[in-house]
Structure 1
Amino acid sequence: MFNINHKQELNKRRTFAIISHPDAGKTTITEKMLFFGKAIRSSGTIKGRGSGKYAKSDWMNIEKERGISVTTSVMQFTYKNILINLLDTPGHQDFSEDTYRILTAVDCCIVVIDAAKGVEERTKKLIDVTRIHNTPIITFINKLDRDSREPIEILDEIEKKLELSCIPITWPISCGKNFKGVYHIHDKIIYSYKNRALNKNFFLDFRDVYSSSNKLVKNYLGTDLSRHIHQELELIINIYPEFDNKKFLKGSLTPVFFGSALGNLGIDHLLSGLIRWAPSPLYRRSNKRIVKPEEKKFTGFVFKIQANMDLKHRDRIAFMRIVSGQYTQGMKLRHVRTKKNIIVSDAFSFLAGDRLSIKKSYPGDVIGIHNHGTIKIGDTFTQGEDLKFIGIPSFAPEIFRCIFLSNPLQQKKLIKGLIQLSEEGAVQVFRPITNNKLILGAIGVLQFDVVIARLKIEYSVNAIYKEVNVILARWIASKNDYSIKNFLNKHSAYLGYDSSNSLIYLAPSNANLKIVMEQNPDIFFEKTREQ
């Protein structure tokens, strides 16, 4: 009985992330998906400062103030009887490390591309990360209601820059002020865009687009546009092969949808494609074996920690992707890293900042459990087996700042706040061996602004940051304990510890790092490390 029910639960789940270059419309698409899933009652322009109306996925105060997404939001909703776990990733490039870790917890990605800008730099970097796991990718080309590039040109760019074979599922009918809608190649339907004179969409073969028998269509499109669309569709249908689900699941082929998230056209097509083609929960690799979702015993891994989701209670939530088995309220789990058993009396599902207590969850689901400072990103939980899921990275920071207090008496509160914020993984805290400074490391400058703002709002700590003479950081490792001890004695002025007490070299220049690496061939200087 367990197996039948378990299989049914797996089949009705999809877990995916939305990724894009900043300002491609990713958060708007998230909002529309929640609307179609009836998780929210209204949608529309979602980032108006001063309007009091914000994106559901942007729940932090700084996100509302600046109109940007700076942390990953987890949302669960139902669409056409399919349970969807949606992870809306930070769009801003300064928060890429959070996004990279999120991609380890999903089974599919939707990549959003601005129709006017095409493939941008951050999009390419994110796609490179998905290739590590061969993650299936669905593409949505957004903002067709604005002046755009030629659709074929965008598809060519995707194939060249992202090395993905494109299969258009829908096709735009003009763009900008002349945008009339999309033709659904698979369903053979024209979906009109904001035309009050039309009470229905049109079901027709593309050959009928330019046909005297379809007067309503010709009146809507006009003779010239009808002829142009007819010729364009004939070309598209002939040059692009049919959708191949096997190639899609291997991550080498992407179905492409066109539309306007703001104009509410194309999101339902995207969702329908997702639940039709995206895989149900997939296996994950551990240090001992492959763990399959069909297995009876529970396993899961923590890919994100968020402090102060509830400011009244100052709580910390660990986000866990369930890999196998099922969660039931009050179950006992083994925290593999600490070798301790815990009773999970309460777990949550999410709608961004809102949470709902749950009694059962299955593979593919993301649940939140309370963290009292013992759980870290990358931790594995099981029903007794000592294994660890692999492939959850931590990256060396690229920018560094020293943090100072306005009031020295707040030192304890500062350290508490920094420890909790660093647990989230967006910023790293280093303690130099030779002094009492606190150095913050991050991927982008904006992360420091977020830390300062959150210290003030969430911990009542007033702090500022200043530049520090650190350019690069590398974790130190060696097969020889003596080499580490000798290295520490020689270079203590440039060494510190991170929040996990791992030794790290804080280089003042590229030249300095190069020389030290040449002088110490038995020392490994690592850019990344497993959590």
Structure 2
Amino acid sequence: MTEDILQAPTAATSTDGPATSRVTAEARRRRTFAVISHPDAGKSTLTEALVLHANVITEAGAIHGKAGRRATVSDWMEMEKARGISITSTALQFPYRAPSGQDCVINLLDTPGHADFSEDTYRVLTAVDCAVMLIDAAKGLEPQTLKLFEVCRLRRIPIITVINKWDRPGRDPLELIDEIQSRIGLRPTPLTWPVGIAGDFKGVLDRRTGNFIRFTRTAGGAKAAPEEHITPDRAHAAAGDDWDNAVEESELLSADGSDYDQDTFLGCETTPLLFTSAALNFGVNQLLDVLVQLAPAPHGQLDTEGHRRPAESPFSAFVFKVQAGMDSAHRDRIAYARVCSGTFERGEVLTHATTGKPFVTKYAQSVFGQQRSTLDTAWPGDVIGLANANVLRPGDTLYRDVPVQYPPIPSFSPEHFAVARGTDPSKHKQFRKGIEQLEQEGVVQVLRSDRRGDQAPVFAAVGPMQFEVASHRMAAEMSAPISLESLPYTVARAASPEDVDFLSRQPSVEVFTRTDGVILVLFSTKWRLEGFQRDNPNVVLQSLVAAGDD
């Protein structure tokens, strides 16, 4: 990926025109979206396939079959390679020229599917204009998919639905469509329809053109699958009864009012739907083209007062993720920021809205998975990496000239708690620095109390796998191995400072202060919490944001 390709103006973006015209034109070229799904639906494989079909890489990293298996470009952490799952979100920026000749810049955010990492996925969804919801053809809608959809619904994020793994045995396509509409309330409007039942994927009927797009397998799915576009009058000869069945079902969809409509898609009432096999690279080109043609371009962001700051306004961005440990040779941290408005120029001095202090953007980078390159200019919709940005936290706002503050990103209500202790007394400084880094990144929430002291902070997490990540990173990156001792608490509530002394004296209750200053009270069970509230109605305890809520 070369920087000049990403930043080259099209005919509509002449630098001779007003600056606002250039910003508008560049914003229209951007497509910024996240891929969301339940674990093992093929999300990282689809991400890899999209990059492959955009001609950014020449061979997909996920070579299927145990021999010679490699990691995808979006799964770069050692734990991700070992477990075969996404543990952290990843930003991939690359250029794409659609068959229509339209030049675009894709900002693709791959998210962890596992429920234990819901906070990371939530942060990513604050930074996108659209989401691709991936569904396993055999399993249909699964719990984590439903939770992520609910976040998209509440944030009014348009959704493109992809039925994946059609090369394997699965359910009837009409049954899957009925399930989507009945369970999440979005009417699917298929743009492609499978030719061949699940497990016998011959190609798709393109409902926009009427053509049969026939796919040809490649060895291990490592290369882009060749496509043959066959006109409707020749399609029966090419696919026989499978084509006839696809046409009949497509006509039923039209009669049922399930044809695509742009206004209802952008209004989050319908979801365009496609069928793919990401592992075989079938149907991926069609998804790329749909993203370019139909997905919304950046159009500004709502500030804390509910006013939309137009994309043409002076520069502003908000930080949605902080990540360290991407390069073992450099102990730096990368703050991922979504450009909301204006033009970013490397080296300029911005204002950090939280502190009001200046922030110099000397080390700005374009991010492609683990790979990074110097970035000089960015536009609305782009994701920029700010290196060595120690003062930045997820939810922070940066701006130039005209002040703005974007809504903070809430922390989820933790349900798992463990005391962290260093196992090597000589690594005291590394232990303290590592704990500070993990809490700044949001890998886990860190709680402290006078009772336990600084040498025994408590990790709080949505899911237990967060503890594994924290423990692994403390040992591998900070050279400060830790032991974790589980605590018998399952419920957390926020409390007022004036109630701390009283709460600290209660049995089966413990009081902590979170890094952001919030006082958390931990209860052993929800029944213990209910009993306490019943006996002490004057003590006000506030619920925290639950995973899947907004």
Give SS of 2:22's match.
helix
In the aligned structure 1, how far is the partner of 2:236 from the partner of 2:134?
A: 31
Unaligned runs of 5+ in 1: 209-213
Q: Does 1:290 align with 2:317?
A: no
Structure 1 residue 523 displacement after superposition: 2.4
2:443–2:470: 8 Å Cα contact kept in structure 1? no
Structure 1 residue 234 displacement after superposition: 2.7
Change in Cα spacing, 1:322 to 1:44, as seen in structure 2 (3 Å) is closer
Deviations 1:424-461 (A, max 9, x none): 22311111231222211111111111111111110112
1:291–1:323: 8 Å Cα contact kept in structure 2? no
More deviation, 279-288/118-127: 279-288
With structure 1 as the length reference, what TM-score do the two structures score?
Answer: 0.91
Instruction: Give matches, 1:255-274, under 5 Å.
Output: 255-274=272-291
Structure 1 residue 327 displacement after superposition: 0.8
In the aligned structure 1, how far is the partner of 2:506 from the partner of 2:357?
A: 37
Structure 1 residue 5 displacement after superposition: 1.0
Q: Which residue of 2 aligns with 1:499?
A: 515
- Correspondence for 2:74 among 57, 61, 82: 57
- Correspondence for 2:201 among 160, 175, 179: 179
Q: Does 1:37 align with 2:54?
A: yes
Change in Cα spacing, 1:329 to 1:4, as seen in structure 2 (3 Å) is same
Unaligned runs of 5+ in 2: 1-17, 98-102, 219-224
- Correspondence for 2:239 among 221, 240, 245: 221
More deviation, 139-148/465-474: 465-474
Structure 1 residue 289 displacement after superposition: 5.1
Q: Which residue of 1 aligns with 2:323?
A: 306
- Correspondence for 2:292 among 268, 275, 278: 275
In the aligned structure 1, how far is the partner of 2:96 from the partner of 2:226?
A: 24
1:49–1:65: 8 Å Cα contact kept in structure 2? no
| Aligned residue type for 1:201 | E
In the aligned structure 2, how far is the partner of 1:38 from the partner of 1:521?
A: 63
In the aligned structure 1, how far is the partner of 2:335 from the partner of 2:281?
A: 34
Structure 1 residue 469 displacement after superposition: 2.2
In the aligned structure 2, how far is the partner of 1:420 from the partner of 1:26?
A: 28
In the aligned structure 1, how far is the partner of 2:55 from the partner of 2:506?
A: 59
Q: Which residue of 2 aligns with 1:464?
A: 483
2:196–2:243: 8 Å Cα contact kept in structure 1? no
Change in Cα spacing, 1:303 to 1:226, as seen in structure 2 (3 Å) is closer
Change in Cα spacing, 1:119 to 1:377, as seen in structure 2 (3 Å) is same
With structure 2 as the length reference, what TM-score do the two structures score?
Answer: 0.88
Sequence identity of aligned pairs in percent? 36
Deviations 1:18-69 (A, max 9, x none): 0001111111110011112222121163477773621000111111121110
- Correspondence for 1:330 among 332, 340, 347: 347
Instruction: Give matches, 1:320-469, under 5 Å.
Output: 320-390=337-407, 392-436=409-453, 437-469=456-488
Give SS of 2:439's match.
helix
- Correspondence for 1:76 among 75, 78, 93: 93
Deviations 1:307-338 (A, max 9, x none): 12222221111111111111101111111111
| Aligned residue type for 1:79 | Y
| Aligned residue type for 1:475 | A
How many correspondences in the alignment?
516
In the aligned structure 1, how far is the partner of 2:365 from the partner of 2:67?
A: 31
2:193–2:246: 8 Å Cα contact kept in structure 1? no
Q: Which residue of 1 aligns with 2:495?
A: 476
| Aligned residue type for 1:347 | A
Q: Which residue of 1 aligns with 2:228?
A: 201
2:299–2:311: 8 Å Cα contact kept in structure 1? no
Instruction: Give matches, 1:21-32, under 5 Å.
Output: 21-32=38-49
Q: Which residue of 2 aligns with 1:10?
A: 27
In the aligned structure 2, how far is the partner of 1:16 from the partner of 1:129?
A: 14
In the aligned structure 2, how far is the partner of 1:343 from the partner of 1:88?
A: 28
Q: Which runs of 4+ in 1 moved over 6 A?
A: 47-50
| Aligned residue type for 1:255 | P
Change in Cα spacing, 1:509 to 1:363, as seen in structure 2 (3 Å) is same
